[in-house]
């Protein structure tokens, strides 16, 4: 790793010592170095990084305290500790549901979606498929749907689901979202009396970046697709094909297990292959009375159980209109429909922490990091969703890092000839600039919403500087300037809705005849 060690202090614990590294390294690299030290010296009984810690972040949103499903020790998902590492920045989550309302606590995290409802009477908006996924309301009168049922008010179901995933947070308003740095892509497939599988298949295909005849291409393919919907029966061939192809395109498909208190084997699309099927737990961590179960369940997450009190449901964004849209409100709901978006949000946190995870890896890490149920939850999958452990597992999976060695000064010595680095984070570049005025330039693509962190590690008495430019126009974005012998550091957030390419310059200044350096790049 090219790091020298020196004694900083002793006596921290019995026969314990704190060693200082000659340069900055990432937490993952420090853990790897500690393991090497222990394995190389039999007298070392334990070695670990001396990490800096801080208090877990608590949102300022006034109703956050009522979102027990995020933070309570018994059955919450341990979101606060995960937020210290990842917010979901740069990740798109498609909500295949009833559409959305432009709720003030959600609108800033919404992308332009699509309405895939083909039948006007189901859409309830006077037309068929179009680029307007707004939810006009899904109320029904008694027996309107072709079977005996009572009248029902509009549910605003998609708005509630979307709020759990990515309600705006740190805005001193309303509630928090699990992955409040992510963006929601509304895909409307449900309306009056539900929706048809043909429209759901089209919505899955489009959300994942596939082509649907007569529909413009999706410019924001989703890394995660949430489907809090379903029916009884087997997974149809065409539905399975759409899900399989979505997974192949890189979308993790999260599905609610269903609310019939029966085996999930009889509920689609939760019984389709390749999905993450989510059962629901209540505030004690026990399986909610309504939740489906069975060997097909992947894991469980809070879905609420309001039979023991309204406040034991899941609180999220909603609308107060009983038929057509009214005003923004917040309301408790219960169901596996509420459990699934917790998992979709955590999947977004994981993908922001490790952008190269495949859907299969996301599913495996969700299950391997799930914690033991605090109460009885028979046939609820691998365990209870644990956001902190899942994000930690995702970051740990980045240990196989890309390392680039460069030993020349002249093949990428200008902004125009910058060497393109792979968009893999974290990664380390080693190089050398050893003459006055010499520079190395590296181009790197940074995802939308992500913060690029760069550390230039120098030899003793070295004096090199770090510059960051926009590749598109060559404009200087940021530079570091510290005294010789100190590492240089830059941090910059891509505030655009799309990826941006920046160019890093390592510039020789003085007092470093060898000119060797290492460049550590990471995102969060």
Q: Shortest CA distance to 105 belongs to which of 318, 390, 413?
A: 318
Note the pLDDT tens digit of each residue in 193-246.
999 999 999 999 999 999 999 999 999 999 999 999 999 999 999 999 999 999
Contact 343, 351 (CB under 8 A): no
Note the pLDDT tens digit of each residue in 324-334.
999 999 999 99
Number of CB atoms found within 10 A of residue 442's CB: 21
Strands 427-432 and 402-405, bridge-based pairing: parallel
Q: Is the model more confident about 343 or about 399?
A: 343
Query: Residues 26, 86, 256, 337: which is the catalytic one?
Result: 337
pLDDT of residue 401: 45
Query: Residues 69, 71, 97, 305: which is the catalytic one?
Result: 97
Q: What is the dihedral sign for C-alpha 216, 100, 161, 68?
A: positive
Q: Where are the domains of the chain?
A: 5-50, 65-397, 402-523
pLDDT of residue 404: 54
Strands 92-97 and 183-188, bridge-based pairing: parallel
Q: Report whether the peptide linkage leading into residue 68 is cis, meaning its omega lies within 30 degrees of zero.
A: no
Note the pLDDT tens digit of each residue in 474-493.
899 998 855 444 567 788 98
Given this chain, do its domains 65-397 and 402-523 carry the same CATH topology? Answer: no
pLDDT of residue 458: 67
pLDDT of residue 461: 54
Contact 185, 94 (CB under 8 A): yes
Sequence-distant (≥ 6) Cβ neighbours of residue 416 within 8 angstroms: none
Query: Residues 69, 71, 157, 342: which is the catalytic one?
Result: 157
The reported pTM is 0.75
Residue 335 has pLDDT above 80, yes or no: yes
65-397 to CATH, choices 3.40.50.1240, 3.40.50.200, 3.40.1160.10, 3.90.1150.10: 3.40.50.200
- Provide mean pLDDT across the span 132-146: 96
402-523 to CATH, choices 2.60.120.380, 3.90.1640.10, 3.40.190.10, 3.40.50.2300: 2.60.120.380
Note the pLDDT tens digit of each residue in 91-103.
999 999 999 999 9
Q: Is 236 a catalytic residue?
A: no
Task: Read off the pLDDT band of 470 (50, 70, 90).
Answer: very high
pLDDT of residue 14: 67
Q: Is 337 a catalytic residue?
A: yes
Q: Is the model more confident about 437 or about 116?
A: 116
Contact 313, 284 (CB under 8 A): no
Q: Is 154 a catalytic residue?
A: no
Rounded to an integer, what distance in angstroms lies between the CA atom of residue 191 and that of residue 99?
9
Average pLDDT of every residue of the chain:
90
Task: Read off the pLDDT band of 86 (50, 70, 90).
Answer: very high
Task: Read off the pLDDT band of 513 (50, 70, 90).
Answer: low
For 299, half-sphere exposure in the C-beta direction (CA atoms, 13 angstrom radius) is: 31
Residue 339 has pLDDT above 60, yes or no: yes
Note the pLDDT tens digit of each residue in 369-407.
999 999 999 999 999 999 999 999 998 876 444 455 554
Which residue, chain included where needed, has tokens 């974290």? 426
């Amino acid at each position: 790793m090219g790091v020298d060690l020196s004694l900083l202090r002793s006596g921290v614990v019995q026969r314990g010592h704190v060693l200082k590294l000659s340069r900055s390294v990432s937490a993952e690299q420090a853990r790897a170095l500690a393991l090497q030290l222990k394995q190389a010296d039999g007298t070392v009984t334990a070695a670990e990084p001396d990490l800096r810690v801080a208090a877990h972040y608590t949102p300022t949103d006034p109703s956050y305290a009522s979102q027990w499903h995020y933070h309570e020790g018994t059955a919450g998902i341990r979101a606060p500790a995960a937020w210290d590492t990842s917010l979901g920045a740069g990740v798109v989550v498609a909500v295949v549901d009833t559409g959305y309302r432009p709720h003030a606590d959600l609108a800033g995290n919404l992308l332009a979606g699509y309405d895939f409802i083909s039948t006007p009477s189901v859409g309830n908006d006077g037309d068929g498929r179009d680029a307007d996924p707004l939810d006009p309301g899904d109320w029904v009168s008694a027996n309107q749907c072709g079977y005996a049922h009572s009248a029902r008010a509009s549910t605003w179901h998609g708005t509630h689901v979307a709020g759990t995933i990515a309600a705006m947070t740190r805005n001193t308003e309303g509630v928090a979202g699990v992955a409040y740095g992510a963006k929601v892509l509304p895909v409307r497939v449900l309306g009056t009396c539900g929706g048809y599988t043909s429209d759901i298949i089209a919505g899955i295909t489009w959300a994942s970046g596939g082509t649907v005849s007569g529909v413009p291409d999706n410019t924001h393919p989703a890394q995660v697709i949430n489907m809090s919907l379903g029916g009884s029966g087997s997974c149809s061939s065409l539905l399975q094909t759409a899900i399989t192809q979505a997974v192949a395109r890189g979308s993790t498909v999260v599905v609610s297990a269903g609310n019939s208190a029966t085996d999930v084997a009889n509920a689609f699309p939760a019984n389709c292959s390749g999905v993450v099927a989510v059962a629901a737990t209540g505030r004690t961590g026990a399986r909610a009375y309504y939740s489906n179960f069975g060997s097909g369940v992947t894991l469980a997450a809070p879905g609420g159980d309001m039979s023991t009190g309204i406040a034991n449901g899941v609180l999220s964004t909603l609308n107060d209109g009983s038929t057509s849209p009214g005003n923004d409100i917040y309301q408790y709901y219960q169901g596996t429909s509420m459990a699934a978006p917790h998992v979709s949000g955590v999947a977004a946190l994981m993908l922001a922490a490790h952008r190269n995870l495949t859907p299969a890896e996301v599913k495996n890490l969700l299950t391997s990091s799930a914690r033991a149920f605090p109460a009885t939850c028979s046939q609820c999958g691998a365990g209870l969703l644990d956001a902190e452990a899942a994000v930690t597992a995702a970051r740990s999976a980045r240990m196989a890092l890309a390392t680039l060695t460069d030993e020349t000064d002249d093949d990428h010595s200008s902004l125009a000839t910058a060497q393109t680095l792979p968009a893999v984070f974290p990664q380390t570049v080693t190089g050398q600039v050893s003459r006055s005025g010499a520079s190395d330039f590296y181009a790197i693509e940074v995802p939308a919403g992500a913060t690029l962190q760069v550390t230039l590690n120098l030899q003793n008495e070295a004096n090199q500087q770090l510059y960051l430019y926009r590749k598109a126009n060559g404009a200087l974005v940021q530079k570091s300037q510290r005294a010789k012998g100190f590492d240089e550091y830059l941090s910059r957030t891509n505030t655009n809705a799309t990826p941006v390419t920046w160019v890093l310059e390592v510039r020789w200044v003085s007092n470093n005849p060898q000119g060797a350096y290492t460049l550590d790049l990471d995102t969060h």
